[in-house]
Amino acid sequence: MIRTIAIKEIKSLLREKKCRIVAVVLLLLFATALVTSAVNQKQLNKARAEAQQLSRSEWLAQSPKNPHSAAHFGNFAFRLKTPLSLFDKGLDTYTGSQVFLEPHKQDDFKFSEAEDADALVRFGELTPAFILQTILPLLIIFLSFATVSKEREDNTLKLLVGNGTPLPEIVAGKILGNWAVISGLIALLSLTALLFIPAKSTEDTVKRFVWMLLSYVLYAGFIITISVVISTYSKTSKASLMKLLSLWMLAVIIVPKVSSNIGSTLYATPSQFEYANLVQHDVENGLDGHNPLDKRRDALLQSTLKKYAVDTITKLPVNFDAIAMMESEKYTTEVYRKRIAEVRNIFTKQNNISLLGSFINPFQAVQYCSMALSGTDYAHFIHFQDAAEDYRLYFVNTMNEFMAKHTRGGDWRTKFGAETYQLVTPFHYSAPSLSWSIRQQPVSFIALLVWVALSMLLIRSTKKINIV
């Protein structure tokens, strides 16, 4: 009987004018967002690739100087947009995609506040993800709000139940019918999206796309279930519509903002000024507060003199200044990693509040799933920054080591040119795999499955409804 009702519902929907209107509106909006995102992505990737090449050319073309001074010329690290970022920009707009790299400095904290940029901040940004997360539920409500309540008003529901069909089966059939139609629309939109994904996409990109498609189909299924169940509980279609619109506003606007505000209130972050002062204090006074900079340098000098069995800097077969800078870079990195770990821990706690909101709000669940699969969430941003920091340490240490080996004493006058700069290989960033992305964001995926399981319970709950 469920199958029969589902088929009847599909045929009825396909005949209805409002269904065709929904399909056309959704397709036009999605296509507009997709084309806009694709053009923007192509332009940005081209600009970033050219900027990365320019940065490399400028690095090699700088005038001859001592290697450490050359390192201070700096380098840029750029992150190209992932293939699926055209689908969901996530936090990319707010976190940025470039890091300037130079000795003694880290860029980690520059965009850290962007992690808290929730859906409300991006509410006006037309992207395919925005349409599926925000607009699609509205269109589903438009299609489904009167699914059962209209039959109650027309007194046809009594006839169906009176003929021996249990109400939960009627509800399940109508849900399946609506879900089939909406899933078909999502599949059509996905095929459209495939036209804008590079033909040479990796297997990982294809898997991400399939997972994303499945996530949105499940999300749509739950929205349909909610719509049909509330329609079943409502005595009039008007009442059903008002309830569903209220839930939409609660899920899309109110709950995400409230959870975000709760997180930032419970776990306050230091200002960038406070953070810089903490770093400076640790560098000058030591991580334990009892190992100042001059004491560390003196200890290094004594150990270096002992290592080479000499009694003065001038007798060293290496450049002590370069050795001291390498050690300073190492120590400063420890300081930065300690402090940035503390800041990231605060953001993680803030983020966990919103993540837990995924269990009370399916919108937040699919939002986090979508960003993770698109490679545009906070975890991917941190992955890029860590890769950029590793590269910064690599190129700074390469220059310092060369200076230590090829100059003596405190020599800062000897200059080297492009051949020395060539020792530093270009920066290349590889995005993490799908499995890594899921491991970083398991809560949202679990929450989405919980909502699907809840759908079954909601359908069964209609058994207790008195249709009289």
- Could you tell me the end-to-end alpha-carbon distance of the chain, in angstroms, rounded to an integer? 22
Domain extent for 82: 2-464
Among 93, 94, 96, 91, smallest CA distance to 79 is for 96
| Structure tokens that stand for 427 in this block | 């920066």
* Upper half-sphere CA count for residue 122 (Cβ side, 13 Å): 25
Identity at 44, one-letter amino acid code: L
* Cα dihedral value 400, 401, 406, 411, nearest 10: 30
Residue 285 has a CB neighbour count (10 Å cut-off) of 14
Q: Are 142 and 22 in contact (CB under 8 A)?
A: yes
If one counts the domains in the chain, the total is 1
Is residue 47 within 8 A of residue 399, CB to CB? The reply is: no
For each successive 10 residues of the chain (468 residues), what is the average pLDDT?
86 86 90 90 90 93 92 90 89 81 71 40 70 93 90 81 83 92 90 80 89 94 94 91 94 89 85 81 81 85 89 86 87 86 87 88 93 92 91 92 86 89 92 92 92 90 78
Consecutive H or E run containing 77: strand 75-78
The SS3 assignment for 62 reads coil
Using alpha carbons, select from 441, 262, 443, 447 the residue that is nearest to residue 353: 262
Q: What is the pLDDT of residue 155?
A: 81
Pairwise CA distance, residues 37 & 136, whole Å: 18
pLDDT at residue 113 in the model:
41
**pTM given for the model:** 0.86
- Using an 8 Å Cβ cutoff, are 406 and 379 in contact? no
Picking from 40, 199, 196, 204, the residue whose alpha carbon sits closest to that of residue 125 is 40
CB atoms within 10 A of CB 142: 18
On the 0-12 / 13-18 / 19+ scale of CB atoms within 10 A, 27 is: middle
Strands (DSSP E) along 82-235, which ranges?
A: 98-101
For position 108, what pLDDT does the model report? 53
Cα–Cα distance list, 307 to 43, 174, 316, 317 (Å): 55, 81, 10, 11
Question: What are the backbone angles phi and psi of residue 416, rounded to the nearest 5°?
Answer: -130, 155
